[in-house]
Amino acid sequence: MIVQKEIILPGLKRGYHLITRLIEEQLPDLPDKGLLNILVKHTSAGITLNENADPTVRRDFEVFFNKMIPERDPSYIHTYEGDDDMPGHLKSSVIGSSVTIPITNHRLNLGTWQGIYFCEFRNSGGHRHLVLTVYF
């Protein structure tokens, strides 16, 4: 069996946002065993799993990715949507647009220190759509 739901995140500022609890609140009753897939339906945002306790990790992500993929690089051709657009596309490809998480005993089977990050790479990304698919 498959259950699918699309949710809309409010406009979040640029950065790495811990959304584990928000995702869990949107899910139906989970099976004993299964999988959750989360897809970000945008090309300048991403999703990943990482540290859920210390918020400085999310700040360090921002600093690192801005060094690795800077804005206003003169080699970019796709620049008409703003300085943050092409870097947003590149960061999205590096981080990825989906994650799959096992479900065990009716809960997401995340590690003790793992949380779900929504990664907003645009200064003003606006509302973002996520597709949550639970496989029983």
- E strand or H helix at 50: strand 45-51
What domain range is 89 assigned to?
Answer: 2-135
Residue-wise pLDDT for 52-104, tens only, equals 999 999 999 999 999 999 999 999 999 999 999 999 999 999 999 999 999 99
- How many structural domains are present in the chain? 1
pLDDT tens figures, 105-129: 999 999 999 999 999 999 999 999 9
DSSP class of residue 55 equals T
> What is the separation of C-alpha 115 from the centre of its chain, rounded to a whole number of angstroms?
10
CATH code for position 131 = 2.60.120.460
The reported pLDDT for the residue numbered 91 is 98
Chain centroid, CA 81 distance in Å: 21
**Which residue did the predictor score with more confidence, 23 or 124?**
23
Average pLDDT over residues 9-16: 96
Is the CB of residue 12 less than 8 Å from the CB of residue 120?
Answer: yes
